[in-house]
Structure 1
Amino acid sequence: MTNREQEILEILKQNPLISQNELADQLGITRSSAAVHITNLMKKGHILGKGYIVRDGAYVCVIGGSNIDIQGVPNNTLIFRDSNIGSVKSTLGGVGRNIAENMVKLGLKTKLISVIGDDLYGQKILEEARQIGLDMQDTLVLKGEQTSTYLSILDETKDMAVAISHMDICDRMTVEFIKSKKHIIENAEFCVIDTNLSPDVLKYILNTHKEQKFLLDTVSTAKAMKIKEVIGLCHTIKPNLIEAQSLSGIEIKDEKDMLSAAAYFHGLGVSNVFISMGKDGVFYSDGKVSGMLKPPTVKVVSATGAGDAFLAGIALGYAQGEDIKSATLMAMAASFIALEHEDTINPYMSEELLLEKLKEINHVK
């Protein structure tokens, strides 16, 4: 936003019904110049409509996958290559969508750019977004297409044993479509992206919006490799141990190796690195400050949504201006809340609950 546009926006906030002639007189410019600035502000998303309705407040933009999760849990020890007696349930999912929902529950105004079909699953995703206050008006809805489906099987400890992801529709989010969302991406406080997007879209977003701060969820080892060439354009990355090894080419056995891997990513341009190790904790580094946080014992009901909640916790920390260690603790607290519920997203997730959990973590430490 230019200085003149910022000046006009402040005037409109005070007087949304001001005429272009009055605006021009107040600024000492021509009416036609005022009209051009108004048009530019509307294109950039700062003005929402007639009467100069000004966009209210900062928001975070998430660009990633949305799908339906189908999850199976055995009653006893999981036996491969056999039929296991257990339970099956379906919930809304997708890494980007899950992160976005967690962020909304944590009090962050969030816009989700995703792609879904116009089937019953897609309608369910949109309806849920409306109910919780997640803005999906910029999501691509494709007629006659099937919304992505993610099938996971948990073991007897409620940890994921295997999963199948049918997310071909994500490839329908093209560079041309993303170009039309330029103003949404540019005006966000920061953006979260996941590697369910196609390599072309990921590269375009990062190469085009180099001034924006991007938080990357690597999703899986295979999908993480899509972004290997441009990962240095991300401000923040959150790989797990295996993904960090694959992306850096460094075998990680101890904290010294963690520092080497982090140094590799910092050398490429990444500002903040978080390497998650499940029950063993998380390593964090911003190039100056680094450390390993080991979690207290937590009763795990389901580990499926812990990573999504973790990144949402990082986003909350960034939105509140926390340093990297504090943001890591907030992220860890969010992941604990996720672990304590059978649903991928704990319906009780909130900033208040996160702060309570944070106190527990600090007390144990």
Structure 2
Amino acid sequence: MYERTDSEIEAIQELLSPHFGTGFEPDEVANSEQIIIQQVLEYVGSRFTRMKYILGLALDFAIVAQRLSNVDDSAKELREQLTIEELFKRYQVVTERGEQQANTLTLKFAQSTQVGIRRIEESIVQFFHSLNRSKYPSAYVYNTGQWQKFQDLLILCFRLSESGRFQLCQKLIDFGLERLQKNIFVTRESLRVRLFPEIINNYPRSDPDENGGLVFQAIACGYFKADRPHLSFVVDKVRTGSSRQRRFGDIDCYYGLDLEISIEVKDCHISLKNLKQQLGSFQKQVTGNQILGVAFVLSINSEARSLLSDDGIIPFAQDELIRSVRIWDWQKQDAAVHEMLHYLAHVEQNPSAVARLLAFIGDRDPEHNSLTYYQS
């Protein structure tokens, strides 16, 4: 017996309640009716591997019969001897819609009520797809257009009572959920932790064993390496003069021989008062060498931003960083985390800084693959 999940139970209720009513309680079904239900299940099962839409047609037929029972009391009872001729005499088949011929099944009762299978089939397609059974055929126009080939299935569904149809629908749904392979590749059971935004927002950046600005420079390396994986980086420890490596900024990003971006990192607020002190040298390098410069800063006021922009330097503050990272996919933001670890371990060569960041990662995401190296 198929074991339903909570989400499947809820989806089944949403599918059937518009037709049977919310909280419908079926009566006990007689043995003779159980035989008809079994015949339908065997009919569907024998054809399912070749034509999966047969499952939907059986549900369509049962639900159409149920909807007609809301205006025809005789359809609520078991009609064990009902023939196809009697069915079509009682419920007229609508063959035309305006000037077009109807190729799907719509039944008319008492000159007023019309019930068709097209919209029912659409809801069944949506039902199975919402539960990640993507192999259920989505061509509802084709599916419903085949109805005339299966009039022997149609009459079985119409013979059932209201309770019998409800039980049949439940069994057909379980049949589909069990045999239609769940597409596990479209969703995740659990949400993966997005560590890089967590680090930007919540990781403490000061520690007695770490130079000031170290973490923010690691964040800058992580961001730009993940965002520009085609570039090669020249970077050194914080508080190491850029002239020793013939760098223009704290992080120089090359494409082959060409310097594409130079980044100066400042974990502080930039205003007109401290602009020259913090970024004056970088401004000269950028304007004198026609470099694309980025000032990667904690925050910046409008006046300082305007002056930097006039010199061809792009100010990039933490609030802009957060907005940018928010739309990254998980793999990209995780690449930034790994680049941070690389910088701390292999550029700064500061094992305590690595351990501190790994401890933070372990607290937020105990399954993260970097924790192989963590020793508490």
Instruction: Please state which band the TM-score falls in when normalised by the shorter chain.
Output: under 0.3
TM-score if structure 1 supplies the norm length? Answer: 0.20
Give the structure with the higher percent helix. 2
TM-score if structure 2 supplies the norm length? Answer: 0.20
Q: Rg larger in 1 or in 2?
A: 2
Give the structure with the higher percent strand. 1
